[in-house]
Structure 1
Amino acid sequence: MKQNWNLDVIANPDNFERIRKEVEESANNFVEKWNNNLEWLEKADVLKEALVEYSNWIDNYGEYDKEMYYYSMMLTLDEANAEIKAKYNSIHKLAVEIANKINFFEIRLSKVNSQIQTIFLESDSLKEYKHFLERLFRSGAHILSESEEKILTLKSKVSHNNWVDMLSSLLSEEEREVLNEEGNPDIKNFSEILELISNRDKKVRDKAAEVFNQILVDYVKVSENEINSVLENKQITDQIRGYNRPDESRFIADDITAESVETLVATVTKSFEISKRFYELKAKVLGLDKLEYHERNIEINNIYKKYPFDEAYTLVKNAFGNLDSELENIFVRLFQNGQVDVNPKKGKAGGAFCITVNRKLPTLVMLNHTNSLTDVTTMAHEFGHGINFELSQIQNGLNYDFPMCTAETASTFCEDYVIKELLKDADDETKFNMYMMKLNSDVSTIFRQIAFYNFETELHAEHKKLGYLSKEQIGKIFQKHMQSYMGDSVIQSEGSENWWIYVTHFRRFFYVYSYAFGLLVSKVLQSRVESNPKYINEVKQFFGAGNSNSPEELLKDINIDISSSNVWEEGLKLIENTLGETISLGEKLGKI
């Protein structure tokens, strides 16, 4: 089985010069044809012609074309390669220029008056593009003039991205002496220190936490200025665009209503007792009265079995195959075509991801498989995204998009089925350890992310009211919301008031709810499939719908109503049941 990317599936680099010319020429042709022609803003049949051409342009070129995709992935495999960076930067600059040329189309279309909007939305000829138009008209109230949009695009890097990148870069370059896994003094970088904080050896994790906290103290004043600057910039931008609340732009981008997100947040917040019970259990299993803040993620699984790639591949393949043959076929095909890069290499980026650009370019999966159990679940998670992308290729180019909340549904759905495969023949000891591992992940994905959302909400509100927040004020708000979901079994230790510093989520504004959304919906989908195996067809329908309708409507089509708290309560109940089973197993095994 192929274990390395074959990036020629994107394009042959020998053709890039010709492709660049094609991209520029096609963009210029589109601009020339439609920029000065106003009929498409008035007549449905003319708009249909324009939308077909625009959709085809997105499919074949778009701002993120073959060359940019290719060099972006090359850079992932060799992050320090200056030559690749230069090529990527060159094509990125061209992509921005082309995007600025062609952005007139969506801007003008979003601004048509309400009477024309109604005509377009009710037109049979535009039915295929109805939801694209609905999304565009919803955002239109907050889109500025073409020249103003260009200004905001040009300034976004210096007003937001550079601040965030500066802090991230400073932290990533930190190296300090800690105790390594064997308990010996060793120099580790920032991410390695963070990983050691979860070590089972108390001396190792406590030393790592001490050093980690000192790094955060060293940068807390810089971080205070950074977060206040990005908050102020967002408030200015929101005011210019006419948003009424700081999370409104997120709801519009994710094509979801405020009411659905508010119901999710309120329901999970009301159920924080589940996460509190989990941390109480974890402390007991570890023989501790209470967990220090940095100990909440201590490794507890005691699963030392290794899963070489071939075994992991077979496990995931079988899990997908037992669920549905089409899911298995997608999994196998991506490997056969060289669309998966499996192993760690010098210079290769860490972590894992699955990426798509448009429906005509290949889905790519990047892994860093080191034979651990987590690597198996990560493979399943990323291929959940891949299955989502592949099934959605039936959509047109303008509906080939994925709100974060629905993307996370597909990934966690597939991940959970692989865990079920692993549990099939597990003894009680293994089952207990896997349940603890899964609960730790679920608590972080659902309850922690909603606590993060609540923190962001108060952070933005307080900043708007006061104009500037000191590091002490931010730390107090942060600890308040971490305590809210962890409970009394986790001490908000000295230093934890600064742990907001390294959480990049808070600079991407209010997207954290999507993790909880995705996992809870996925739990409900799993329950429906287990009750009726044929329901997998409805699940695939949802995964293949792309952005053809809002998440609320797409889920309603398969009989799930997320405007009601019932769905969220159903998902939370499934997690509570797993917690209850884990406690019973722990008592049976004498662990608590």
Structure 2
Amino acid sequence: MTTDITRLLWNTTALYTAPTAPELADDLTAGAREAGAFREKYQGKVTLLDDAGLTAALTAYERLNELLLKPQLYAHLLFAADAEDDDNKRLSQRTAEFGNRMSRELLFFDLEIMDIPDERYAKLAATPELAPYRHYLDSVRRFRRHTLKEREEQLLKLKNLTGAEAFSRLFDELTSSLRYRMELEGEEREFTGEELLGLLHHADGTVREQAFSTFLRRHEEEGIVLATIFNTIALDHGQELELRAYHHPMEPTNLGNELPEEVVNRLMEVSEANYGLARDYFRLKAQLLGLPKLKNTDIYAPVGETGRRFTFDEARELVLAAYGEFNPDFRSIVAAFFAERRIDVLPRPGKSGGAFCMGMTPHLPPYVLLNFTGNLRDVATLAHELGHGLHFVLAQRQTMLNYHAPLPLAETASVFGEMLLTRFLLNREPEHRTKIALLCAKIEDIIATTFRQNVLTRFEERLHLERQAGLVTAGRLGDLWWEENGKLYGDAVEMIEPYRWGWSYISHFIHARFYCYSYTFAELLVLSLYQKYLDEGAAFIPTYIDLLASGGSRSPADTVRPAGIDLADPHFWQKGYDFLAELIVELKELVGNA
């Protein structure tokens, strides 16, 4: 069956017809004009507004932000789809500079919200008019003691264009431009990075190791640039920590996530205390593969039927069925991504690696980027990103300032979607060996989403701490990476030598400080939520919908409390790892009965 390639490319014309569309230029002009008018109307007056006046200002601020964001988000989609196209490059840079200028123009608003005296703020926040914005206002004011004067803040934002943002852009352009040559099945040919990483699921161990080595060695060739980017990002962050009087590199992220330091530390410490579960699984997988010991290129090796290939149509139907079994309304929401061509599917030169779902605004539809190569992991990635999409659609009940979920909950719907897919497949699979393969895939996914993300977070923490004392060379970055991964793998997994460059392609280190622990948080949270679903059945679904639909209108603790979850419970994180332990026991029983 032939596939119409155009339906595998996203259609962004719902935003603008082209990078050169007059409507886009008009929105940029209108946005600049309205930002100036907003500043003229409210600058120097926010602390004097009553509840009705502050509500009106917030409502106007939301409308303005939606106008300003639309061209920037559109440009990001085009650049992610093809970073080598000159028009996309120009538009991306133009909108980045526009966004920076507008953020400087509007910076006064948050600063003046911070300046409202505590007693006056308490009275304002208690009014019914401002109730919908209470969480947003509290979130802004939380950063008061780390915020500088307006002119200083403006200068920091201005220099970002030629500082951290410029190096982030360089990383994206460099990594998306890399080409790789490798022999496969007797023929040497060119691969994209995503195609090589997809070969980590190949049945032949030699191919897996060759593919990953080729990928990493190519990054090593760009080691001077990559090490400079990582050092510059860390130095920039360190300087800002000093300017803002933070005491630890993770403190701004924890504050923004509304998570006390002790909660994050407990999450990471409990994860490390359970690394033995991963090693237990790795030894079992070596047995299943008939190997004396796994290499880290064998971790995602296919077991039985996981070696099968899926067309994108097959993947779509599986994901739709899994969501539909949970809730028919979810199937309809997810199906719209396919029907409206809001998914860009296949890897190609110039396209960003990995996968993401971009939530726009409450009035614009979200889009998904994939690099689909047809293995089971790619099917799970489709379920994952559409979980994000579902979350963004349900949160469109909120207004702009409450739209985006707090970072610790941003991965909740995506990870839950993967769990729905796994159980859907397991419940319908009659073959014993295939059940083993599917359970292996799920366990590997949990290990990747918890333990591996904890490793990434510890590496990032050590990078930032060491950069405070001076340059961290590429060799030292490799050492840090090797040591943190070694704590997870122990004597159960042998790391191939090129893996010393495994840090160099992780984009989260570049684009967002300490994002990775959000995956660990979300996975363990989802395991608890999914257990409640198994216990309560359909009665759980309204609670789950409300959790997703709340967007960013509540703190993480307040968002999950209606589901009976207490993030302050010192035993909470261990419950998720107990669930993982049960899956490993279930797998051992299946293997024993094979």
TM normalised by structure 1 equals 0.90
Can you list the C-alpha shifts for 1:528-569, whole angstroms capped at 9, x where unaligned?
111112111111111111111111111113211122233222
Aligned residue number for residue 13 of structure 2: 8
Most deviating of 453-462 and 98-107: 453-462
Q: Select 1:143's aligned residue among 144, 147, 150.
A: 147
Aligned residue number for residue 41 of structure 2: 33
In the TM superposition, 1:493-508 aligns within 5 A as 493-507=496-510, 508=512
**Aligned partners of 1:32, 1:454: CA distance in 2, in Å?**
46
Aligned residue number for residue 62 of structure 2: 55
Contact 1:168-1:502 at 8 Å conserved across structures:
no
Aligned residue number for residue 429 of structure 1: 433
1:167 deviates by: 5.2
Aligned residue number for residue 475 of structure 1: 478
1:371 deviates by: 4.6
Can you list the C-alpha shifts for 1:90-120, whole angstroms capped at 9, x where unaligned?
3443333222212211122123333333333
Q: Is 2:590 aligned against 1:582? A: no
Contact 1:450-1:516 at 8 Å conserved across structures:
yes
Aligned residue number for residue 546 of structure 2: 541
Can you list the C-alpha shifts for 1:448-493, whole angstroms capped at 9, x where unaligned?
11122223333333443x4344444443332222121112111244
1:148 deviates by: 1.2
**2:59 aligned partner, one-letter code:** V
Most deviating of 518-527 and 343-352: 343-352
1:300 deviates by: 3.5
Most deviating of 542-551 and 396-405: 396-405
**2:566 aligned partner, one-letter code:** D
Identical columns (%): 26
Q: Select 1:551's aligned residue among 536, 547, 556.
A: 556
In the TM superposition, 1:95-134 aligns within 5 A as 95-134=99-138
Q: Select 2:360's aligned residue among 354, 357, 374.
A: 357
Assess, with a 3 A threshold, how the Cα gap between structure 1 residues 327 and 570 changes in structure 2: closer, same or farther: same
Assess, with a 3 A threshold, how the Cα gap between structure 1 residues 134 and 528 changes in structure 2: closer, same or farther: same
**Aligned partners of 1:461, 1:71: CA distance in 2, in Å?**
34
Aligned residue number for residue 492 of structure 2: 489
Most deviating of 268-277 and 203-212: 203-212
Assess, with a 3 A threshold, how the Cα gap between structure 1 residues 346 and 22 changes in structure 2: closer, same or farther: same
Assess, with a 3 A threshold, how the Cα gap between structure 1 residues 301 and 550 changes in structure 2: closer, same or farther: farther
In the TM superposition, 1:204-215 aligns within 5 A as 204-212=207-215, 214-215=217-218
**1:537 aligned partner, one-letter code:** P
Q: Select 1:560's aligned residue among 543, 565, 590.
A: 565
Q: Select 2:393's aligned residue among 387, 390, 395.
A: 390
Assess, with a 3 A threshold, how the Cα gap between structure 1 residues 280 and 510 changes in structure 2: closer, same or farther: same
**1:252 aligned partner, one-letter code:** L
**Aligned partners of 1:226, 1:21: CA distance in 2, in Å?**
33
**Aligned partners of 1:88, 1:225: CA distance in 2, in Å?**
23
Q: Select 2:31's aligned residue among 23, 43, 62.
A: 23
1:309 deviates by: 3.9
**Aligned partners of 1:47, 1:145: CA distance in 2, in Å?**
22
1:47 deviates by: 1.7
**Aligned partners of 2:186, 2:343: CA distance in 1, in Å?**
36
In the TM superposition, 1:68-467 aligns within 5 A as 68-166=72-170, 169-170=173-174, 173-175=177-179, 177-180=181-184, 182-188=185-191, 190-196=193-199, 199-212=202-215, 214-220=217-223, 222-300=225-303, 302-342=305-345, 349=352, 351-426=354-429, 427-464=431-468, 466-467=469-470
Contact 1:256-1:550 at 8 Å conserved across structures:
no
Assess, with a 3 A threshold, how the Cα gap between structure 1 residues 84 and 492 changes in structure 2: closer, same or farther: closer
Assess, with a 3 A threshold, how the Cα gap between structure 1 residues 541 and 291 changes in structure 2: closer, same or farther: same
**Aligned partners of 1:455, 1:558: CA distance in 2, in Å?**
33
**Aligned partners of 1:471, 1:552: CA distance in 2, in Å?**
39
Assess, with a 3 A threshold, how the Cα gap between structure 1 residues 353 and 225 changes in structure 2: closer, same or farther: closer
Most deviating of 441-450 and 497-506: 497-506
**2:578 aligned partner, one-letter code:** K
**Aligned partners of 1:565, 1:315: CA distance in 2, in Å?**
37
Assess, with a 3 A threshold, how the Cα gap between structure 1 residues 574 and 183 changes in structure 2: closer, same or farther: farther
**Aligned partners of 1:86, 1:432: CA distance in 2, in Å?**
50
Q: Give SS of 1:64's match.
A: helix
Q: Give SS of 2:162's match.
A: helix
* 5+ residue gaps, structure 1: none
Q: Kindly tell me the number of residue pairs found equivalent between the two proteins.
A: 583
1:86 deviates by: 2.6
Can you list the C-alpha shifts for 1:256-296, whole angstroms capped at 9, x where unaligned?
33232222112111111111111111222222222234443
Assess, with a 3 A threshold, how the Cα gap between structure 1 residues 503 and 55 changes in structure 2: closer, same or farther: closer
* 5+ residue gaps, structure 2: none
1:211 deviates by: 4.2
**Aligned partners of 1:17, 1:174: CA distance in 2, in Å?**
32
Assess, with a 3 A threshold, how the Cα gap between structure 1 residues 24 and 186 changes in structure 2: closer, same or farther: closer
Aligned residue number for residue 523 of structure 1: 527
Contact 2:201-2:307 at 8 Å conserved across structures:
no
**Aligned partners of 1:21, 1:42: CA distance in 2, in Å?**
29
**Aligned partners of 1:203, 1:521: CA distance in 2, in Å?**
37
**Aligned partners of 1:444, 1:48: CA distance in 2, in Å?**
44
Contact 1:42-1:116 at 8 Å conserved across structures:
no
**2:107 aligned partner, one-letter code:** N
Assess, with a 3 A threshold, how the Cα gap between structure 1 residues 496 and 319 changes in structure 2: closer, same or farther: closer
Assess, with a 3 A threshold, how the Cα gap between structure 1 residues 400 and 171 changes in structure 2: closer, same or farther: closer
Assess, with a 3 A threshold, how the Cα gap between structure 1 residues 502 and 72 changes in structure 2: closer, same or farther: closer
**Aligned partners of 1:287, 1:369: CA distance in 2, in Å?**
29
Assess, with a 3 A threshold, how the Cα gap between structure 1 residues 455 and 284 changes in structure 2: closer, same or farther: same
Contact 2:319-2:379 at 8 Å conserved across structures:
yes
**2:101 aligned partner, one-letter code:** E
Contact 1:117-1:137 at 8 Å conserved across structures:
no
**Aligned partners of 2:345, 2:465: CA distance in 1, in Å?**
44
Most deviating of 93-102 and 273-282: 93-102
Contact 2:385-2:414 at 8 Å conserved across structures:
yes
Q: CA RMSD in A?
A: 2.8
Q: Give SS of 1:179's match.
A: strand
TM normalised by structure 2 equals 0.89
Assess, with a 3 A threshold, how the Cα gap between structure 1 residues 175 and 433 changes in structure 2: closer, same or farther: same
Assess, with a 3 A threshold, how the Cα gap between structure 1 residues 370 and 92 changes in structure 2: closer, same or farther: same
Most deviating of 256-265 and 124-133: 256-265
